[in-house]
Amino acid sequence: MTTTIALAGKGGVGKTTIAALIIRYLMQTQTGPILAIDADPSSNLNMALGLDLGWTVGDIRENILSEVQKSLTAGGAAMGTLPGAVTKREYLDYEIRAALAEGDRFDLIAMGRSEGPGCYCAVNHNLREVVDAISRNYRYVVIDNEAGLEHLSRRTTRDVDYLFVISDPSQRGLVAAQRIGAFRHEMNIDIRRCYLILNRAPGSDLPPALRSQIEAMDFPLLGVAPADPLLMELDMAGRAVIEVDGASPSYAAVAAMMAQVLGQ
> What is the pLDDT at residue 79?
45
| Count of all residues that appear for the chain in the document | 264
Cβ atoms of residues 177 and 145 within 8 Å: no
User: Which one-letter DSSP state was computed for residue 227?
Assistant: P
> What is the pLDDT at residue 149?
76
Q: Which residues contact 74 (CB under 8 A, 6 or more apart)?
A: 83
> What is the pLDDT at residue 69?
67
Q: What domains can be seen in the chain, in order of their start residue?
A: 3-56+89-261 (3.40.50.300)
> Number of H helices and number of E strands within the chain?
10, 10
Out of 62-76, 182-196, 199-213, 218-232, the most confident range is 218-232
Is residue 2 packed enough to be buried (19+ CB in 10 Å), middle (13-18) or exposed (0-12)?
middle
pLDDT band at 80 (very low <50, low <70, confident <90, very high): low
pLDDT in tens, 193-209: 999 999 999 877 888 99
Cβ atoms of residues 152 and 6 within 8 Å: yes
pLDDT in tens, 105-164: 999 999 886 655 444 455 667 778 888 889 999 999 999 988 777 777 776 666 899 999
Alpha-carbon distance of 14 to 147, in angstroms, equals: 11
Q: In degrees rounded to 5, what are phi and psi of residue 195?
A: -135, 155
pTM of the predicted protein model? 0.89
User: Which one-letter DSSP state was computed for residue 133?
Assistant: H
pLDDT in tens, 84-112: 667 778 888 888 898 899 998 999 999 88
- On average, the pLDDT of the chain sits at 86
pLDDT band at 22 (very low <50, low <70, confident <90, very high): very high
Alpha-carbon distance of 247 to 33, in angstroms, equals: 25
Helix runs in the chain, H state only: 15-29, 45-49, 57-71, 88-99, 121-135, 150-153, 171-183, 208-215, 229-236, 249-261
Statement: residue 177 has pLDDT above 60 = yes
